[in-house]
Amino acid sequence: MKFTCEKALLQNAIAVTGRAVAQKSSIPALEGLLLRAGEEGLTVSGYNMQTGIRARVSAGVEEPGEIVLNARLFGDIIRRMPDDIVTFTAGEKLQVRLLCGDADFDIPGLSAADYPDLPEVEDEYAVCLQRKTLRAMIEEVAFAVSTNESRPVHTGVLFEIGEGGLTMAAVDGFRLAVRKEPLEKLEGGAFSFVAPGAALNEVKSICGDVEDLAEITLGKRHILFTAGEVELICRRLEGEFLDYRNAIPKKNPIAVTAETKALIESIDRVSVVISDKLKSPVRCRFEEGRVLLSAKTGNGEAKDVCRLEGDGEGLEIGFNNRYLMEALRYAPADTVRVELNTGVSPAIIVPTDGKDNFLYMVLPVRLKNAD
């Protein structure tokens, strides 16, 4: 096996695929990267039995072959190489020689036969959208993904694809995040699936902030995300995802409009007295043209006022400060409409322009009577 490749291209492929390498595994090969050189150039793959990432690299292949190298060692070597062409040679005894400029390394490899195959994804359904849009949508719902393994399906994000576009939803029992965007193209009709939150963090990193298209392909048991020369394959999560549309209250007689940044800053101010040891809800009293925020713990008491448009009718409601702040922070809008009903009903955060590209729902925290 022998190939030559630009150091920068190889380093980038190692960084991307290394994110899917198992940190510790009973199968030593899984702590490595699989390198496969052939007619189509070089592919580098990392796989932890949950998520696999494969990157194609432009390389001059002199002798085809495949081998597994320890991901950390290989990455450290290539990163320290001078910016030049890397020559990679693997002998029959799996000994690898790496040359670049005056740098010369000899390291042991592992047999590619020990490396599990990445799953193949049948392309029954496929959909395309801009990479930066996919990245933004994941970012704007993934914070609400559950970390509770007792309902594994909620540790992922629901993707619903149809004529109306792509809808993503995440829920953790305390809040709900929903994002919607139109699609570039749709093949095979409407479909839906749940993708693991951990895998979507990696999808975000392979997408980058570019307008090129990403493709999502749905197989029977796996999902394939393709962004340029990089493919990510992950398992579908099985189970019944919350019927979130019916969980959103339809009647919310109170509606106020706030500047997102100003409301975040007010919540942040009163949150100073809240800590992991000294927890307290943020008490919100919605009045005509303003909301009064306060929090009280053993650290002290904090109060602030945020200007609003609309009449909150004196409604008093409590929220977990982090849950409310995250919903506002990830809302892709400078102003938001906050819809309320009673002190024990959820708050709904939606756009002010009547569009339905996002919706965040935060459950309230029961308040003790005013001290």
275 and 219 within one domain: no
Q: Distance between CA 320 and CA 324 in Å, rounded?
A: 6
Q: Distance between CA 10 and CA 75 in Å, rounded?
A: 9
Average pLDDT over residues 256-263: 97
240 and 132 within one domain: yes
In a domain, 368, yes or no: no
**Edge-to-edge strand list for the sheet holding 32-38:** 65-70, 32-38, 41-47, 51-57, 230-235, 222-227, 213-218, 125-130, 185-187
Instruction: Name the percent of the chain lying above pLDDT 70.
Output: 99
CA distances from 81 to 9, 67, 77, 280 (A): 12, 20, 6, 52
pLDDT mean across residues, the chain: 94
In a domain, 206, yes or no: yes
Alpha carbon 340 to chain centroid, angstroms = 29
**Total tally of structural domains belonging to the chain:** 3
148 and 107 within one domain: no
Taking the alpha carbons at both ends of the chain, their separation in whole angstroms is 75
Asked if the model's pLDDT at residue 370 lies above 70, the reply is: no
pTM of whole model > 0.75?
yes
pLDDT category of residue 285 using cuts at 50, 70 and 90? very high
Average pLDDT over residues 204-228: 94
As given in the structure block, the two tokens for residue 40 are 């189509």
261 and 357 within one domain: yes
196 and 92 within one domain: no
Query: Of 114, 145, 169, which marks where a domain is finished?
Result: 114
Least confident piece of the model among 19-33, 108-122, 178-192, 206-220? 178-192
